[in-house]
Structure 1
Amino acid sequence: MTDLSHPSRSVVRDAVHHIWTRERVWLAFAGLLAVVFVVDAPLGTSSVQFTIRNLIDVAPFLLLSIGIAAYASATGADGLIARAFTGSPAVMIAVAAVAGGLSPFCSCGVIPLIAALLAMGVPLSAVMAFWLASPVMDPSMFMLTTGVMGAEFAIAKTLAAVGLGIFGGTIVHALSRAGALADPLRDGVGNGGCGASKVRTPQPVVWAFWHDDTRVAKFLREAVKTTLFLTKWLALAFLLESLMLAWIPAELVTRALGGTGIVPIGVATLVGVPAYLNGYAALPLVGGLLGQGMAPGAGLAFLVAGGVTSLPAAIAVWALVKRPVFALYIGIALTGSFVSGLLFQLWVSL
């Protein structure tokens, strides 16, 4: 009789290794959720509902950005986009920051575009400028901020978004010239170096790619890969966010952000990094705190820091880039948010 035990063990071992190395995020999600259900079943149920609801809410932005990235790859238009980011570094950074401040993408929805731009060989300095500015302000956010907090605050937030993008892009450009940050993407996500060939050797663009089976397959492959990649990370992020909402009282945030002077601006910046409120939900909170006497600079610092480094966005960035780039992203967000709040406070004090 043939002994099948060894081949069977090999198959099981390979399957376990695949799940552990490729699906650790889902394992972490399932393990954490299981613990929550054991400790507090109603909280587990509400966390699942929170996660699903937020995934549905962010889906239109994600699908749009994923579709754009996949379309650019399938048609060859990514080469045109990459060439648009060539030329003077200062001009590239400024244009990227302004484009980010005007784009309609949220902090999560911009991630697929960032990955695509880096894979095309677009300089990290310009990408970082777009990356930092995009989640802070968009047309609908401008209108809502104006309605809740006034036109002056909305304009200040817009200028903070563009300024943060230029500030971050300039720092990254200086580091890149010194030889750092040459390969920012994690292994398996993309390769920013090889994408530069799209700029050096432009290929014809096939806008109607659906007539070419190879391009259709490439479009579907890129779209599915990015969707699955982001879904697992965002599901974990939203689960963690739901637990923060449940375990960190809103009154604690209110007390931390109250007061005037430079200290509340620094505290607001730090609190904004793991901000568990999205930009729209945070506006009424900050508006109420401003009405109670909170420093306007602290309110701006909280909104800017929270917009750039909210938990879902930070986890998505962590999954996308290498650790030095992630650390730089957090550091720039912290510094830029604090400086933005400080400058705005000085302006309103004049």
Structure 2
Amino acid sequence: MNTRFSLVWWATLALLALGSLLPEPSIELARSVIVELFKLLPLILFVALMAGWLASSQLADRVRNTLDSRPWHAIVFAGLIGAITPVCGIASVPLVAALLRQGIPMAAAMAFWLSSPVTDPGMLILTAGILGWPFAIGKLLAALLLGLVAGAVMQGLSCWKPQTHWVREGALLQVSTNSCDSSAPSRFIDEAKATFSMVVRWLAFALTLEAMVRAHLGETGFSILTTVDSAWAVPLAVAVGGPLYIEGYAALPLLRGLIDMGLTPGAAMAFLMSGATISLYSAIAVWSLVRPAIFGLYLTLGIVGALIAGWMTDLVML
């Protein structure tokens, strides 16, 4: 784990140095990353404490025992909970990581990962107020269906190979610090520290990558979405919305303005779906937890789900 920790931090520092020198010397990029990281510190602490609680309580054991005997119920439950709970990508991954260490099925984890960042009750109401109830309900259904399909696909793969084949050894090795011989406070502290370390290092890397993308593309790059044919606007929105993620609440007014300029509702849906499910925040955290094959499946499901949601939205609303 120390080697991986060092590599991630060295890569982050190298990107910060590069971004501070190109296209011209400036400390603005590094400053923005540090500011954003401090803004997210309360959330990181909350996630770490929640992960510690999950590791030290008996909740994970109870959930695992229930879901192991009913895998398809687990998928539906995880997809439904993910679609209606206010858990963003950065929070869902470490929480699921803690549950995976306790033996929660990977299929349920995949369903939750891809459905939870898309919407929640507050986002549903705000989306309805800005983009209309048909769009908001369509987004909720898209999140739920994406989670269910992702869980079903992962369940099929889990029947082929054991779950331990899909999770990185580093993520599962942390179970050793949470042995049955350890006291609950010790398990709480160990899991909270491990989760805090994982989130901070990968989030710093993600924020740096996002800042570099923003610096070279810029907010005005979104205007290109209104100039292409509607059939191509959806995949272009996915290509832009994934890496250059704008927080969902901030993206809604921007998309409302772009729709007034000619952006199709489907492109707006694809932008929101891809930005929430496969953003750098979520993707890099998932990468830290699962092996490349499952990470590729996660990205593929997120991209295909965003494309289908976008095209279906245009088919229904245009």
Give the structure-2-normalised TM-score. Answer: 0.90
Asked if 1:345 corresponds to 2:318, the answer is no
Tell me the distance in 2 between the aligned counterparts of 1:180 and 1:273.
30
User: 1:306–1:97: structure 2 CA closer, same or farther, 3 Å change rule?
Assistant: same
Sequence identity of aligned pairs in percent?
A: 33
1:63 is aligned, of 35, 45, 70, to 45
The count of corresponding residues between Structure 1 and Structure 2 is 315
Asked if 1:147 corresponds to 2:116, the answer is no
1:96 is aligned, of 78, 93, 117, to 78
Asked if 1:23 corresponds to 2:6, the answer is yes
Asked if 1:188 corresponds to 2:157, the answer is no
Tell me the distance in 2 between the aligned counterparts of 1:263 and 1:22.
40
Match of 2:157 in 1: 175
Match of 2:109 in 1: 127
Superimposed CA distance per residue, residues 269-300 of structure 1 (whole angstroms, 9 cap, x where no aligned partner): 22222133222222222111111121111110
Tell me the distance in 1 between the aligned counterparts of 2:163 and 2:301.
15
* Contact 1:258/1:289 (<8 A) preserved: no
1:35 is aligned, of 6, 11, 18, to 18
Asked if 1:241 corresponds to 2:216, the answer is no
Superimposed CA distance per residue, residues 81-108 of structure 1 (whole angstroms, 9 cap, x where no aligned partner): 2224234333221111110011211111
Q: Please, which moves more after superposition, 64-73 or 311-320?
A: 64-73
* Contact 1:260/1:294 (<8 A) preserved: no
Q: Please, which moves more after superposition, 264-273 or 294-303?
A: 264-273
1:262 is aligned, of 231, 239, 253, to 231
User: 1:147–1:49: structure 2 CA closer, same or farther, 3 Å change rule?
Assistant: farther
Superimposed CA distance per residue, residues 55-98 of structure 1 (whole angstroms, 9 cap, x where no aligned partner): 23333333333222211211233201222423433322111111
Give the structure-1-normalised TM-score. Answer: 0.82
Tell me the distance in 2 between the aligned counterparts of 1:111 and 1:286.
27
Equivalent AA in structure 2 for residue 23 of structure 1: S
* Contact 1:245/1:276 (<8 A) preserved: no
Q: Please, which moves more after superposition, 328-337 or 272-281?
A: 272-281
The answer for unaligned runs of 5 or more in structure 2 is: none
Match of 1:307 in 2: 276
Superimposed CA distance per residue, residues 184-223 of structure 1 (whole angstroms, 9 cap, x where no aligned partner): 221211169x99xx9xxxx9xxxxxxxx983212211111
Q: Secondary structure at the match of 1:189?
A: helix
Equivalent AA in structure 1 for residue 294 of structure 2: V
* Contact 2:79/2:144 (<8 A) preserved: yes
Q: Give the aligned CA root-mean-square deviation in angstroms.
A: 2.5
Structure of greater Rg = 1
Match of 1:272 in 2: 241
User: 1:60–1:143: structure 2 CA closer, same or farther, 3 Å change rule?
Assistant: farther
Match of 2:93 in 1: 111
Tell me the distance in 2 between the aligned counterparts of 1:104 and 1:124.
21
The answer for unaligned runs of 5 or more in structure 1 is: 1-17, 204-211
Q: Please, which moves more after superposition, 139-148 or 103-112?
A: 139-148
* Contact 2:270/2:309 (<8 A) preserved: yes
Tell me the distance in 1 between the aligned counterparts of 2:134 and 2:42.
30
User: 1:235–1:21: structure 2 CA closer, same or farther, 3 Å change rule?
Assistant: closer
Tell me the distance in 1 between the aligned counterparts of 2:3 and 2:154.
34
1:283 is aligned, of 222, 247, 252, to 252
Match of 1:79 in 2: 61
* Contact 1:185/1:191 (<8 A) preserved: no
Q: Secondary structure at the match of 1:174?
A: helix
Tell me the distance in 1 between the aligned counterparts of 2:280 and 2:205.
10
